[in-house]
Structure 1
């Protein structure tokens, strides 16, 4: 059962990340003609297109994508419990667990975007389509840090500081919600 739990958790987490990435790309008004952006849109469009007809958009963020992401985070915990114990338990705490899972997924997505952008900066030097989108997403987070802590000796420490802030927030989540944070 642990293998099935790992597989389901990984697939659900990856799809949540892709949905959050789509929301973030829309919010930051990334270039949607970019091949990487088109990939994200195509793998989410199958599920979102039928739901979009039922829900209107609010501001620059599609409420359909956000609602689907939130529903997936709420369903993930009871689904994993069902796989592990073969008992379906419906509990209002899952709503709080879904909210916490959404916050944790946002933090993980920011972490991976900053890390992949930092690694690609050594190799591609802003020539790949993925690098352009990652730059558009992460630059608003890193620019304020660069104003406070400029590059020293040609080395940019803003990605490291963003990562340290994310680690601190993760540890705060572990302290505030010790029983559930690890399972999210």
Structure 2
């Protein structure tokens, strides 16, 4: 029971930190300003949760084009720490390489979950036609993902089904990823 409680707390804390680092990475790639002067209310929150790890990493890890590799490395290191703690609590039952793979898969899983949440909120906000900072921000984050689908899928009766298609694709990737993680854990434990 204690293991399950610790695992839950680790999942919440590492999930929040990893997701925030990945959001920082994606927002910077999309050139969405994060500074307080920009009026972005999420910027201060993102900086508060990620500066402690991203800024030191930036001194040694350069950006790769528009990709902030320090934010990506931070997300990976947080997931690695998460699985390393679980590994140690579990009696070192799996190989260290498995921890690295699980950390990578955990980072991908959180990316898929975050994208799914953004697309859902984007779709709901598109129905009510609000003009808010959140709807504009989500539009800038989600539209690049929907653009390839919109090129192939026309409007159906005046309704844009591209968010639904993207949600289905994200869910398929999530199912495949879950099976890969389960298979890896089963092979290691068995």
Q: Which TM-score applies when normalising by structure 2?
A: 0.81
> Do residues 6 (structure 1) and 8 (structure 2) align?
yes
Relative to structure 1, the CA distance from residue 180 to residue 129 in structure 2 (aligned partners, 3 Å threshold; closer, same or farther) is: farther
Q: How does 1:40-51 map to 2 (within 5 A)?
A: 40-51=46-57
Q: Distance in 1 between matches of 2:133 and 2:48?
A: 16
The corresponding residue for 1:146 is: 150
Q: Distance in 1 between matches of 2:67 and 2:99?
A: 25
**How far did residue 114 of structure 1 move?**
0.7
Per-residue Cα deviation, 1:101-147 (whole angstroms, up to 9, x for no partner): 12222211211111121122234x35221221211111011122122
Q: Distance in 2 between matches of 1:109 and 1:48?
A: 20
Relative to structure 1, the CA distance from residue 38 to residue 136 in structure 2 (aligned partners, 3 Å threshold; closer, same or farther) is: farther
**How far did residue 88 of structure 1 move?**
4.7
Relative to structure 1, the CA distance from residue 91 to residue 43 in structure 2 (aligned partners, 3 Å threshold; closer, same or farther) is: closer
Q: Distance in 2 between matches of 1:138 and 1:44?
A: 22
The corresponding residue for 2:109 is: 104
> Do residues 76 (structure 1) and 78 (structure 2) align?
no
**How far did residue 80 of structure 1 move?**
2.5
Q: How does 1:11-22 map to 2 (within 5 A)?
A: 11-22=13-24
For structure 2, which runs of at least 5 residues remain unmatched after alignment? none
Q: Distance in 1 between matches of 2:140 and 2:55?
A: 25
Secondary structure of the structure 1 residue equivalent to 2:183: coil
Count of residue correspondences: 179
Q: Distance in 1 between matches of 2:61 and 2:182?
A: 36
Q: Distance in 2 between matches of 1:54 and 1:143?
A: 35
Whether the 8 Å CA contact 2:17–2:49 is kept in 1: the answer is no
Q: Distance in 2 between matches of 1:7 and 1:177?
A: 20
- What do you get for the CA RMSD once the two structures are aligned? 2.3
Q: Distance in 1 between matches of 2:103 and 2:131?
A: 38
